[in-house]
Structure 1
Amino acid sequence: MADDKTVAQPAAMIRGGDLTDQVGRLTRDLYESFAARTGGNPNAPGAAPSPFGDDASGKKALATYGPPHTELLDALKSLADALEGAAKMTTGSGANFAKAQNDAVDMI
């Protein structure tokens, strides 16, 4: 027996997925902008020269600030990936619910 309070609203789900995708794209843009403006991951192979310089003071600064910078970059990328993935799943679920509802109506 169906729960009288459970209702699938495919159009709202698709809209929610689209809005989540917009947030995901904004987060991806933020990640890419931050990486470009701060030299990306200073510990990555082939990375741009350190913005702190190559002298002893620059190496000390990189040792101090490099790991948190890399962690922040990784976190922003992971957040963008997660939001974009959630958007695809939400939009896909909405489309599947819409198809199921249309198929049910056609069967009646």
Structure 2
Amino acid sequence: MGITCGIDWTEIHHDIALADEKGRIIGRARIDTRVIGFNELLGLIAENGGTPEDTPIAIETDTNLLVVALADAGFTVYPINPRAVARYRERHGKGRRQIGPRRRRDPGEHPAHRP
């Protein structure tokens, strides 16, 4: 597998990211929702060495014409439920506080009396 494509779908535009086999982003674009945007997407994939046979595409919807057009063009499309993406963002987003391992204290130790 050479590259992978991720599409963040909205009704106004689509945000595209292409990643290489190591997960590095090698291309980004914001495309129109019409045919011109679809052609730009195909061009971006081709410019980065991808083909329909070896470029899997993940998209945050399964109910629009872009999914149908990509499948008809020969791409393997992995539709992702937008609710699943939202829950993932809630669990792993930047706003979530990361809690690291805590040091266990002796029962009589008070934080103010540490050496």
- Which structure would you say has the larger Rg? 1
Do both proteins adopt the same fold according to a TM-score greater than 0.5, normalized to the shorter chain?
Answer: no
Greater RCO, 1 or 2 (C-alpha within 8 Å, sep 6+): 1
TM-score (norm 2): 0.27
Q: Which protein is richer in helix relative to its size? A: 1
TM-score (norm 1): 0.28
